[in-house]
Structure 1
């Protein structure tokens, strides 16, 4: 089961706006983004893989909320497609005007506020010595 680091209620408190109808999906995708960003981070977790240190719990919650806020502001639905194409249609498929942005090679478009929350908690840059 995927780890999700924030709730729709926490997202609403973070943004000061009601959580979007698909908040749970957006939070799950943003949590996956954080997991990718923290691939080399070391912190204590419970049996479900959730952090146990209260400071890390808060940092991950804030970073996930910041990531969703960032994606919503960019017009991204959590798929990453908004950062790649000027226009996308589904039927019959039409893509146009490729934009610069994170590439499919693994570059992660992490929200600046999410990055700062993770850095303040000592989770980034995630280098193991």
Structure 2
């Protein structure tokens, strides 16, 4: 499987250290980027990696954007996104109110990130002309 970004790329993208599961996050994100660009035409090397700089950059950036989204949502790609930790669905500063999504909603949101590119990644690929307007 092709992987379009490194842990260093991810750290550069987020501005903080790469998470301990960066390899798994990047592998999952790269697979989704490859799926989204399956009909795109671009030059590749013998291993299938893109060689044109704007394509290399777009695929790296889309991979990092999606891996960062998975990391922020605490997605474990090896568990297909399953994580039953509660996710705050609403916060309020005045009188300190926090409302949590139920475990099923949180798990569904995390699982979606394992199967579907995040909006930032889609926009990056679309701007580079590597995917259609519908994904």
Q: TM-score if structure 2 supplies the norm length? A: 0.72
> How many equivalent residue pairs?
114
Q: Distance in 2 between matches of 1:19 and 1:38?
A: 25
Structure 1 unmatched runs, 5+: 88-95
Q: In proportion to residue count, which structure has more helix?
A: 2
Cα distance in 2, alignment partners of residues 28 and 108 from structure 1: 12
Matched, 1:119 2:126: yes
Aligned to 2:88: none
Q: TM-score, normalised by structure 1?
A: 0.75
The change in CA–CA distance for 1:42 and 1:9 in structure 2 (over 3 A counts) is same
Moved over 2 A (4+): 78-82, 96-104
Q: Say if 1:22 and 1:75 are closer, same or farther in 2 by CA, change over 3 A.
A: closer
Alignment RMSD: 2.7
Equivalent position of 1:90 in the other structure: none
Aligned to 1:72: 71
The answer for unaligned runs of 5 or more in structure 2 is 86-102
